[in-house]
Amino acid sequence: MGKEKKEKKEKKVEPEVEKVEKKEKKAKKEKKEKAEPVVEVSPKKEKKEKKEKKRKAEEKEEEEVAAVVETKKEKKSKKSKKEAEPAAVEEEAEPEPAMKVHTKAPAPVAEPTCEVFMGNLSFQIDEASLQDAFKECGTITNCKWLEHSDTGKFKGCGFITFSSPDEAGKAVAMDGTDVLGRAIKVDFSQGKPAGAKNREVRPMQAKPDGCNTLFAGNLSFDIDDDQIKEFFKDCGDISSIRWLTDKETQQFKGCGFVEFSDPDASLDKAAALNGQNLLGRSIRLDYAAPRASKW
């Protein structure tokens, strides 16, 4: 009996505890609601806000797309303008001729002479055929053919005189022209073309004791003994001429030694011709040291 009463009493207490707990929970909930009032959003307002948010996002996207398109247009416009500029320059430039024709202008007239040197001439050349080849230049008044002193045979070169310096200049302009199957060489025989710059003459060394020979450089490859003797004819007799050649090919180097019979009377007079024109070139002269004795 006692046990049953105790159990009934406990059962009666439990509902009361539950009621107290529920009451406390309710009080807490009310207190929370008072502290943080719940803002109720109506469905219409929520829908409107979502729509507005979507509209703003679409506007922003459109603006970004428009900016990209505008940037592309600017780049394209700049590129078109850059490509158009060279075209405009090309239009303004004068058109070049389809073919350029180079013509050899007449050489400047030699101031002191009407005479020219001609080399590489055919051995069948004569005054009549030469006059015919240079008829456009003017009149040939004299032909001096150069011959070998020992055989008397024609050397294939000579000095040709025209009636005026102007005609001689026209003849020099024909250098390289084919005459009787050969490309002839034509140049002024002496002096300098009008307007030509003076070439600085290299000073000579002091004359060594016992010197009787001059070194001659910058010579034409058409030079020979007779032309050297002609050049120094007013200086005195020449006793020896030695041309310098390559040891392997034996080709002329364009220089040599000229020995005089009477060096006391001839050497200084010949040296004074340093820098003068010989066959179209400015001859370079210098004193040569005497060769050492073999004994």
Convert the pLDDT of each residue in 18-76 to its tens digit: 777 777 888 777 776 665 554 555 666 777 787 788 787 777 777 776 666 566 666 66
Share of the chain above pLDDT 70, in %: 67
Largest CA distance in the chain: 179
- Residues 50-62 have pLDDT tens digits of 778 878 777 777 7
Q: What is the pLDDT of residue 237?
A: 92
Torsion 184-189-195-198 (CA) sign: positive
- DSSP string spanning 143-204? EEEEE-TTT--EEEEEEEEESSHHHHHHHHTTTT-EETTEE-EEEESSS-BTTPPPPPPPPP
CB 191 within 8 Å of CB 111: yes
- DSSP string spanning 245-291? E-TTT--EEEEEEEEESSHHHHHHHHHTTTT-EETTEE-EEEEPPPP
How open is the CA angle 41-47-50, to the nearest 5 degrees?
105
Torsion 176-178-184-187 (CA) sign: negative
The residue with greater pLDDT, 95 or 4, is 4
How open is the CA angle 17-21-22, to the nearest 5 degrees?
115
Q: What is the pLDDT of residue 62?
A: 75
What is the rounded CA–CA span in Å between residue 142 and residue 161? 5
What is the rounded CA–CA span in Å between residue 109 and residue 138? 14
The residue with greater pLDDT, 99 or 149, is 149
Q: Which residues partner with 238 through β-bridges?
A: 260
- How many residues make up the chain in this entry? 295
User: What is the average per-residue pLDDT within 250-274?
Assistant: 90
Nearest partner of 256 among 287, 229, 219, judged by Cα: 219
pLDDT band (50, 70, 90) for residue 199 = low
Q: What is the pLDDT of residue 214?
A: 93
- Residues 200-248 have pLDDT tens digits of 667 888 888 889 999 999 898 889 999 999 999 999 999 999 998 888 8
Helices and strands (H and E) in the chain: how many: 6, 12
Give how far Cα 269 sits from Cα of 221, 225, 260, 286, Å.
25, 19, 11, 12
Environment class of 122 (CB within 10 Å of its CB; exposed 0-12, middle 13-18, buried 19+): middle
- Residues 131-168 have pLDDT tens digits of 888 988 888 888 888 877 777 788 888 888 888 888 88
Lowest mean pLDDT among 117-131, 189-203, 219-233: 189-203
Residue 206 in tokens:
């002091």
CB 197 within 8 Å of CB 228: no
Statement: residue 112 has pLDDT above 70 = no
Statement: residue 256 has pLDDT above 60 = yes
Q: What is the pLDDT of residue 231?
A: 93
pTM of the model: 0.38
Tell me what the pLDDT averaged over the chain comes to: 76
